């Protein structure tokens, strides 16, 4: 897969950065993004030492930013082989019950977690190579009804169904919805304020499963990253 090209949203830290490291080391051209330049510059500097990376600062809900991501990927590798929808918005924390969920915050969760991935996919489809792969990073909250998780959880459920339909409409692509499992990340800490989440596995533990999906021949579907990790 050397010389292949990937776009990874939310690639400045956590799972996105861990996957970017893995791909860059293997010769991929990788385009990452983040909303702020500080962490993105740090990630770009680190990845620059390993291989080919482009960093584009911006918000995935911005059409101009989405166009810039795809343009950067085409400039790097002539097309797109992998599109990873990793950027997510948790919403208010602690997570409010639906009866009191601020609707403006609810709308923002859906803009980032559902509408932006579809919009970026629409932007990338004309240059997404046949046999290419899309990873929609989901959560167990997208299939389980956890009290207090109606906003984030329902957005991930919507994301999952959206990309299940996309898989049916584009059989030439591999479209995977992936639950990476609990991870020791900033978002996980924000979801449980005041708790110690340091006992959760690092995001790097979920990368082998993601690579199995990217590099392997599994059909489009929903997977748990640690269950499909190659030995």
Residues 30-53: tens digit of each pLDDT: 999 999 999 999 999 999 999 999
**Distance between CA atoms of residues 42 and 44, nearest Å:** 5
> pTM, whole model, 2 decimals?
0.96
pLDDT at 196: 82
- Nearest Cα to Cα of residue 83 among 8, 177, 12, 167: 8
pLDDT at 189: 79
pLDDT at 72: 98
Q: What are residue 80's DSSP bridge partners?
A: 128
Please give the residue range of the domain that contains residue 67.
5-227
Quick one: tokens of 231? 């030995």
pLDDT at 190: 77
> Which residues are known to be catalytic?
152
pLDDT at 185: 78
pLDDT at 164: 98
**How many domains is the chain partitioned into structurally?**
1
Query: What is the sign, positive or negative, of the torsion defined by CA atoms of 23, 29, 33, 37?
Result: positive
Angle at CA 180, nearest 5°, toward 125 and 195? Answer: 130
Q: Which residues of the chain have pLDDT under 50?
A: none
CATH number at residue 172: 3.40.50.720
Quick one: tokens of 174? 């591999």
Q: Are 154 and 80 in contact (CB under 8 A)?
A: no
Residues ≥6 apart with Cβ < 8 Å to 93 = 190, 191, 193
pLDDT at 211: 97
pLDDT at 1: 58
For 84, how many CA atoms within 13 A lie in the half-sphere containing its CB?
28
pLDDT at 187: 79
């Amino acid at each position: 897969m050397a010389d292949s090209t990937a776009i990874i949203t939310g690639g400045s830290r956590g799972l996105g950065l861990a996957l970017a490291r893995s791909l860059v080391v293997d010769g991929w051209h990788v385009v990452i993004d983040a909303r702020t330049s500080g962490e993105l510059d740090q990630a770009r500097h680190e990845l620059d030492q390993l291989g080919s990376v482009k960093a584009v600062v911006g918000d995935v809900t911005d059409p101009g930013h989405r166009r810039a991501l795809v343009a950067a990927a085409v400039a790097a590798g002539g097309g797109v082989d992998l599109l990873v929808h990793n950027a997510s918005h948790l919403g208010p924390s602690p997570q409010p019950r639906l009866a009191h969920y601020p609707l403006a915050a609810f709308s923002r969760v859906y803009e980032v977690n559902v509408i932006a991935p579809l919009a970026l996919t629409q932007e990338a489809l004309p240059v997404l190579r046949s046999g290419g792969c899309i990873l929609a990073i989901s959560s167990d909250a997208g299939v389980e009804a956890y009290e207090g998780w109606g906003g984030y959880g329902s957005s991930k459920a919507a994301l999952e169904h959206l990309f299940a339909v996309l898989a049916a409409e584009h059989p030439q692509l591999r479209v995977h919805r992936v639950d990476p499992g609990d991870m020791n990340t900033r978002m996980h800490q924000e979801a449980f304020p005041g708790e110690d989440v340091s006992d959760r596995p690092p995001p790097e533990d979920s990368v082998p499963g993601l690579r199995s999906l990217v590099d392997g021949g599994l059909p489009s579907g929903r997977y748990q990253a640690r269950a499909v990790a190659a030995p």
